[in-house]
Amino acid sequence: MDDKAIKRGFLKLLKKKKVYEPEVDDALVDQIIFNLKLIEDAKTDIINRGSMVNLRKDKDEEPFYQINFSISILHNAIKSNNTLLKQLGLEKARIEVDPKDDAMLSLKALLN
């Protein structure tokens, strides 16, 4: 994930909407980008290990399954990003990024 391209896309959109306040918006955009990394890592973990994880280290013992912690991390990061997007006034916005910058195709057109 190209953090700089995503940040450029957010800042370009905020400036286009004439609502850019650097002292506040930069921190919010940085938090959104951090949450996106958490989301990406959590999704990868859920895909690799599944939704239920065996907490027992010894394979000879009876398994003890618990919900994968990545599920709650994923859920909380998505909720946090939704809140941050609302604070930026971008909940229904579209980010335009040059295709060569990609950044997950402009963050999937800002989460559709």
Encode pLDDT of 36-90 as tens digits: 999 999 999 999 999 999 888 888 889 999 999 999 999 999 999 989 998 988 7
pTM, full prediction: 0.74
Q: Enumerate residues 6+ apart whose C-beta is below 8 A from 16.
A: none
Report the share of the chain in percent with pLDDT over 90.
45
Q: pLDDT band at 2, cuts 50/70/90? A: confident
Q: pLDDT band at 105, cuts 50/70/90? A: low
Domain tally for the chain?
A: 1
Q: What is the per-residue burial (b if ≥16 Cβ within 10 Å, else e) of 61-77?
A: eeeeeeebebeebbeeb
Structure tokens at 28: 């919010």
Cβ–Cβ < 8 Å for 5, 102: yes
Cβ–Cβ < 8 Å for 7, 46: no
pLDDT of residue 36: 93
Rounded Cα distance between 88 and 85, Å, is 5
Q: Which domain holds residue 51?
A: 3-111
Cβ–Cβ < 8 Å for 56, 63: yes
